[in-house]
Amino acid sequence: MYTLRHQIYAYLLLLPAFVFLVGFTHYPAVATLIDSLMSTPRGGRASVFVGLDNYQGMIEDPIFWKSLINNLWFALATIPISIALSVSMALWVNDKIAGRQFLRLSYFLPTVLPMIAVANIWIFFYTPGYGLINQVLHVLGFASQNWLGDPNLVLGSVIVVAIWKEAGFFMIFYLAALQTLSPSYKEAAQIEGASSWYFFRRIQWPLLMPTTIFVLVNALINAFRMVDHIIVMTKGGPDNASSLLLFYLYEVGFKFWDQGYASALTAVLLALLALVGLLQFFVLDRRTHYR
């Protein structure tokens, strides 16, 4: 039987984690929500309570809506493509093929590179005229493109960089999950004459759903926290065509120094992430097979 001493001992063991959780997660979230209802202090003028004025200004802000729409397109493109690529790569390198260790390393290499280095590499690829991609287009007889300077191409160009960076990271989780599956599943499917596609669709994919939920949550967070390679590659341009929510929040908070409005943007961003995360858990959890 657990005594009061055991309970106190257990809570003392949890205390360091609890302090860090409150200090670095719950308190900043509450403080941000409070700041979003206050004006920005300037000089000798202290902040005052302004209610929902910051949120009203957000509704009337066209750059906010532009950044939000860009971020939604960014998420809709990067999340499914990254997951599809990561699953395909994991299935491939999980088989007994020659050089699979080298393939695993090659797929995972972009993940360990710093995002600033990745952004500079792709700036070289996208450089008009003599960049690698334009050189290939020239050889194939196509015209050179200004990938990062054209409003119609810049968001897609940034999406490609994010997918290249993330797919290898998600592959590791799918590869680990595939290696936990019993070989008897594949043997039984082969005896029954099931095709590889049928085996994946009806057996492997349902068993990978716990991993998929984990990857989805991480991919969603990554899609809405992307800021570093935007700063290096495009600075949100041209004409805010590649501006994402976190980049706009960074500009408002640290370039324009509007603390109240930046806090309101943060509160909305957190609410969006929480809403989509809860929908993922409640919708996908019913279709998930836990072993």
Statement: residue 69 has pLDDT above 80: yes
Confidence of residue 170 (pLDDT cuts 50, 70, 90): very high
Domains in the chain, CATH or no CATH each: 62-287 (1.10.3720.10)
276 token code pair: 């989509």
> Which residues does 56 contact at the CB level (< 8 Å), separation at least 6?
none
> Which residues does 201 contact at the CB level (< 8 Å), separation at least 6?
none
203 token code pair: 């057996």
Count the Cβ atoms, other than its own, within 10 Å of residue 155.
Answer: 20
Query: Which one, of 220, 214, 210, lies nearest residue 287 by Cα?
Result: 210
In the block, which residue shows the tokens 């960049």?
131
Contact 259, 35 (CB under 8 A): yes
Q: What is the pLDDT of residues 83-101, one digit of tens each?
A: 999 999 998 888 777 777 8
What is the pLDDT at residue 107? 82
243 token code pair: 């501006």
Q: How far is CA 272 from CA 11, 53, 221, 278, in A?
A: 33, 20, 10, 10
What is the pLDDT at residue 226? 83
Statement: residue 287 has pLDDT above 80: no
- The percentage of the chain sitting over the pLDDT mark of 90, rounded to a whole number, equals 29
What is the pLDDT at residue 109? 84
Q: What is the pLDDT of residues 139-157, one digit of tens each?
A: 888 888 899 988 999 999 9
Q: What is the pLDDT of residues 198-245, one digit of tens each?
A: 888 888 888 888 888 889 888 988 898 888 889 989 998 888 999 999
Q: Does residue 194 sit in helix, strand or coil?
A: coil
> Which residues does 234 contact at the CB level (< 8 Å), separation at least 6?
148, 154, 158, 242
Of 36-50, 165-179, 220-234, the one with minimum mean pLDDT is 36-50
What is the pLDDT at residue 75? 92
d(CA 128, CA 126): 6
